[in-house]
């Protein structure tokens, strides 16, 4: 047995030693290359923690430029050793073994702890003719530990947290966004770098990816020691998430759809009159006119008589406006004609099908709407040219990119034969959202750095976080089951490496609640009111708080008036969101600067077996445990039926009547508190030991929230919009029981100067044993920064109730000038 150890630093390629059976390999600057059973295998380190595995049929050649991976291999020190048929590549963070006889690859820690291994003979290439291009179906199988949990793979509506023992046909859809990346509770991640329709399957025998098209098997294995570390390595590969403007973390109002500029401006004005906070208003489709003018990127609808005045009116009330844009164009639009000239329109059926704006579609008058080829750089240039001229020039603040999967009606496999700029559509199908969203981001960044890009989009693919995109969960239905599904959908999406996610508060399709029930319907129907309030409370603890849907308008005044339980509950949730903006904005900085995740599955932070598969609670940032109410407590969960056939949640008529529904009554629900820490009830400051399930009292206006011991949370002023008041008098709540740290982040709120280091941070440290809060010296500076401010520090205790006024609490006020100070309790 011969042992060979070589330290690689220079970009050299040379033939290394032969094994006993004559199998050779080549050593490269990043790893090794070899051929085993007619399969060319390349193993290359991208960093000490990340390695790429590339396989293809020996004797063939191809070129591949990844659409997701933008990182280049770093210069990585590693050693190669050989023992019989076993070849080992070892970096500071990772050990990769290759069996030179079978071709099986195994990943482990440097100390030898097994993480993941391929199945023996687990790679397959099957000849395939992809619309005239010779290629392969590609397949790679792995063996996971039987008790191992994995997460991620994008967003699905199945209500599952752990992604084991399932089969997914991964092709982008309206409410399902597929990202072929998963994270293991063993601390590693794996990214399957393929853009064609893909099957992911997992059972007790094997776990595999099988893609319709590929010249090679191409995947990345990354070890981060924990899920956060694995996600960080994925973002190293595919791009970091930039900062959103502060105002995007406020409250957003929308519906399908505002039909005139007067209606839209009137909604903002009404919120200001009511004194309910609002930062964003959204204009949905048809501002361009009829379906033949679909997505014209101009205000051709006469109800929008002065688009510039509309935008100016919204801005004059200190609100922001984003607008719906699509991936398709009607035949009478200027973009359609220019795109058609360069062959950059695809011909499969998309929505809307008819030029007549009635339902169902009248196919005697086909719309002629076609999806554009977002893979074509010239097509992306044309898309932005019209978007910039017709919309962005008016001062629109962001983009609602709808149907970015895109809509594909009456799907036929032959539709995927259609040629795009990068080849047959089948080859690149799942990366469509990445390309179209990236086109808008890249072009806007080239135009200005004074306004941060903000994109709301319906679909996503690996790497999309680098394009300032916040993905929503699509046109989900309005039901309690749909609400329950949103929590694991958002958590698994976040665990796919893309940190910004939200859902239509109240659910999109709400028509079933428009049936009269005891004389009420729509927003006055108590069945919908309860669902909406609970969804809104959940939405307050997602990266974007956005109310939207069809059938029932969602503005707060549709639900009643001040002093009524439902109205007051809605207002309370919105105001709570605004009070937490300093906490949320600081967490957004952690996402950008330290690769953190805002919506956090409990398994990310707690070594507690009971939370590994928990799909109804999560952490919002590192301090706040959110346990949304996801079951009806006051009304029937199933919609009572007076007539058959009127909705998905049909149930026999209920004996309950409107008079029995009292939203002022107290209810209760079970909440599990993860082990390993002490928890504080946010509303009462009552302390609870972790590792137990408690019976939590609930009110219609309160979502169960718990704060982890050791947390330091800043609370902002009462405002009508995010930047109305400076943070010169913040309340800082310290939750004792453990040491803690929090970094307050501030910048100019809406430009890219932070990328140049123009921002400030103030780090707070709590020493629990000494009962001292240290406010460290401020780091950094930016124009408009507060040179002096007050911090009102509250040491939280059960006798120091959250409901008490500031003057009643046992607090201390300090004046801070940027120099380190300590406060002793």
Residue 623 lies in a domain: no
pLDDT tens digits along 95-115: 999 999 999 999 999 999 999
Residues noted as catalytic: 402, 405, 475
Mean pLDDT of 44-53: 98
Q: Is the pLDDT of residue 267 over 90?
A: yes
Q: Is the pLDDT of residue 2 over 60?
A: no
- Shortest CA distance to 176 belongs to which of 374, 461, 372? 461
Question: What pLDDT is attached to residue 614?
Answer: 98
Angle at 493 between CA 546 and CA 538, to 5 degrees: 35
Pick the last residue of a domain from 164, 198, 223: 223
Residue 611 lies in a domain: no
Residue 165 lies in a domain: no
Using 50, 70 and 90 to split pLDDT, how confident is the model at 354?
very high
Average pLDDT for the chain? 94
Using 50, 70 and 90 to split pLDDT, how confident is the model at 518?
confident
Q: Is the pLDDT of residue 238 over 50?
A: yes
| Token representation of residue 136 | 């392969």
Residue 60 lies in a domain: yes
Q: Is the pLDDT of residue 605 over 80?
A: yes
Within its chain, how far is the Cα of 143 from the centroid? Answer: 28
The SS3 call for residue 171 is coil
CB atoms under 10 Å from CB of 489, counted, come to 28
The SS3 call for residue 583 is helix
Question: What pLDDT is attached to residue 6?
Answer: 35
Could you give the CA distance from residue 766 to residue 769 in angstroms, rounded to a whole number?
9
Using 50, 70 and 90 to split pLDDT, how confident is the model at 800?
confident
Using 50, 70 and 90 to split pLDDT, how confident is the model at 187?
very high
Using 50, 70 and 90 to split pLDDT, how confident is the model at 652?
very low
| Token representation of residue 771 | 């009962």
The SS3 call for residue 305 is coil
Q: Is the pLDDT of residue 17 over 70?
A: no
Mean pLDDT of 331-360: 96
Extended strands (E) in 294-397: 320-325, 328-329, 370-371
Mention every residue, 6+ apart, whose C-beta is less than 8 A from residue 748: 754, 758, 759, 782, 783, 784
**CATH number of the domain bearing residue 743:** 2.60.40.1180
Q: Is the pLDDT of residue 175 over 90?
A: yes
Mean pLDDT of 688-712: 98
pLDDT tens digits along 465-493: 999 999 999 999 999 999 999 999 999 99
pLDDT tens digits along 520-544: 999 999 999 999 999 999 999 999 9
Could you give the CA distance from residue 453 to residue 440 in angstroms, rounded to a whole number?
9
**CATH number of the domain bearing residue 112:** 2.60.40.1760
Consecutive H or E run containing 67 = none
Residue 396 lies in a domain: no
Q: Residue 795 sits in which domain range?
A: 710-824
Using 50, 70 and 90 to split pLDDT, how confident is the model at 639?
confident
Mean pLDDT of 155-177: 98
What is the residue-wise DSSP string for 9-20?
-S---EE----T
pLDDT tens digits along 410-425: 999 999 999 999 999 9
Query: Are 365 and 354 within 8 A, CB to CB?
Result: yes
Question: What pLDDT is attached to residue 20?
Answer: 38
Least confident range from 61-65, 149-153, 415-419: namely 61-65
Using 50, 70 and 90 to split pLDDT, how confident is the model at 640?
confident
What is the residue-wise DSSP string for 218-238?
EEEEEE-SSHHHHHHHHHHHH
Count: domains in the chain: 2
Residue 73 lies in a domain: yes
Question: What pLDDT is attached to residue 809?
Answer: 58
Question: What pLDDT is attached to residue 5?
Answer: 32
Using 50, 70 and 90 to split pLDDT, how confident is the model at 802?
low
Residue 788 lies in a domain: yes
Question: What pLDDT is attached to residue 345?
Answer: 98
Share of the chain above pLDDT 70, in %: 94
Question: What pLDDT is attached to residue 14?
Answer: 42
Share of the chain above pLDDT 90, in %: 92
Q: Is the pLDDT of residue 656 over 50?
A: no
pLDDT tens digits along 614-629: 999 999 999 999 999 9
Q: Which pTM value belongs to this model?
A: 0.95
Residue 103 lies in a domain: yes
Mean pLDDT of 365-373: 98
Could you give the CA distance from residue 361 to residue 369 in angstroms, rounded to a whole number?
13
Pick the last residue of a domain from 205, 223, 241: 223
């Amino acid at each position: 047995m011969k042992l060979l150890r070589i330290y690689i630093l220079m970009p050299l390629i040379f033939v290394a030693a032969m094994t006993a059976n004559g199998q050779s390999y080549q050593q490269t600057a990043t790893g090794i290359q070899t051929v085993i059973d007619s399969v060319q295998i390349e193993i290359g380190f991208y960093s000490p923690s990340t390695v790429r595995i590339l396989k293809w049929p020996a004797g063939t050649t191809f070129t591949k430029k990844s659409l997701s991976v933008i990182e280049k291999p770093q210069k990585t020190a590693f050693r190669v050793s050989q023992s019989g048929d076993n070849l080992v590549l070892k970096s500071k963070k990772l050990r990769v073994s290759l069996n030179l006889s079978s071709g099986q690859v195994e990943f482990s820690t440097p100390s030898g702890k097994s993480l993941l291994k391929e199945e023996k003979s687990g790679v397959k290439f099957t000849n395939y003719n992809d619309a005239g291009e010779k290629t392969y179906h590609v397949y790679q199988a792995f063996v996971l530990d039987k008790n191992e949990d994995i997460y991620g793979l994008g967003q699905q509506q199945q209500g599952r947290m752990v992604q084991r023992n399932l089969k997914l046909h991964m092709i982008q859809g309206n409410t399902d966004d597929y990202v072929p990346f998963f994270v293991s509770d063993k601390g590693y991640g794996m990214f399957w770098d393929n853009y064609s329709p893909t099957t992911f399957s997992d059972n007790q025998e094997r776990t595999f990816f099988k893609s319709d098209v590929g010249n090679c098997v191409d995947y990345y294995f990354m070890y981060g020691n924990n899920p956060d570390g694995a996600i960080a390595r994925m973002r190293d590969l595919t791009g970091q998430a930039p900062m959103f403007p502060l105002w995007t973390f406020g409250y957003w109002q929308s519906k399908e759809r505002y039909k005139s500029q007067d209606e839209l401006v009137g909604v903002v004005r009404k919120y200001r009159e009511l004194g309910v906070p609002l930062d964003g208003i959204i204009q949905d489709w048809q501002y361009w006119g009829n379906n033949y003018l679909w997505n014209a990127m101009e205000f051709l609808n006469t109800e929008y008589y002065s688009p510039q005045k509309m935008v100016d009116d919204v801005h004059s009330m200190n609100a922001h406006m984003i607008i719906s844009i699509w991936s398709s164009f009607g035949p009478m639009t200027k973009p359609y004609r220019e795109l058609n000239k360069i062959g950059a329109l695809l011909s499969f059926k998309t929505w809307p099908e008819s030029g007549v704006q009635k339902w169902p579609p009248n196919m005697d008058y086909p719309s002629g709407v076609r999806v554009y080829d977002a893979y074509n750089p010239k097509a992306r240039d044309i898309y932005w040219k019209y978007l910039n001229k017709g919309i962005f020039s008016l001062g629109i603040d962001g983009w609602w990119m709808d149907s970015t999967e895109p809509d594909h009606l009456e799907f036929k496999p032959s539709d995927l034969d259609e040629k795009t700029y990068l080849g047959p559509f089948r080859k690149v199908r799942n990366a469509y959202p990445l390309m179209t969203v990236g086109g808008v981001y890249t072009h806007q960044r080239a135009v200005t750095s004074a306004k941060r890009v903000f994109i709301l989009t319906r679909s996503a693919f690996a790497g999309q976080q680098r394009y300032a995109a916040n993905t929503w969960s699509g046109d989900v239905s309005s039901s309690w089951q749909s609400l329950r599904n949103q929590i694991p959908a958002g958590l698994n999406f976040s665990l796919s490496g893309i940190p910004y996610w939200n859902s239509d508060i109240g659910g999109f399709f709400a028509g079933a609640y428009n049936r009269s029930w005891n004389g009420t319907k729509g927003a006055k129907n108590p069945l919908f009111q309860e669902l909406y309030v609970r969804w809104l409370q959940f939405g307050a603890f997602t990266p974007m708080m956005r109310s939207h849907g069809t059938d029932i308008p969602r503005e707060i005044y549709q639900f009643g008036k001040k002093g009524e339980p439902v109205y007051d509950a809605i207002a309370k949730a919105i105001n709570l969101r605004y009070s937490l903006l300093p906490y949320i904005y600081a967490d957004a900085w952690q996402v950008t600067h330290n690769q953190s995740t805002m919506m956090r599955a409990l398994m990310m932070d707690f070594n507690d077996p009971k939370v590994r598969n928990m799909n109804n609670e999560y952490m919002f940032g590192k301090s706040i445990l959110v346990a949304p109410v996801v079951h009806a407590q006051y009304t029937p969960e199933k919609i009572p039926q007076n007539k058959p056939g009127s909705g998905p949640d049909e149930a026999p008529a209920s004996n309950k009547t409107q008079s029995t529904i009292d939203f002022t009554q107290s209810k209760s629900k079970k909440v599990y508190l993860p082990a390993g820490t002490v928890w504080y009830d946010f509303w009462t400051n009552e302390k609870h030991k972790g590792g137990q399930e408690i019976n939590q009292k609930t009110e219609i206006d309160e979502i169960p929230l718990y704060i982890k011991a050791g947390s330091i949370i800043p609370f902002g002023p009462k405002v009508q919009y995010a930047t109305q008041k400076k943070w010169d008098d913040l309340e800082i709540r310290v939750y004792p029981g453990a040491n803690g740290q929090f970094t307050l982040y501030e910048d100019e709120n809406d430009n890219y100067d932070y990328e140049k280091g123009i921002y400030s941070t103030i780090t707070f440290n709590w020493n629990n044993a000494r009962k001292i809060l240290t406010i460290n010296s401020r780091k950094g500076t930016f124009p408009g920064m507060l040179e002096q401010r007050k911090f009102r520090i509250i040491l939280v205790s059960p006798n120091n109730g959250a409901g008490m006024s500031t003057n009643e609490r046992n607090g201390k006020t300090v004046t801070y000038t940027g120099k380190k100070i300590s406060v002793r309790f």
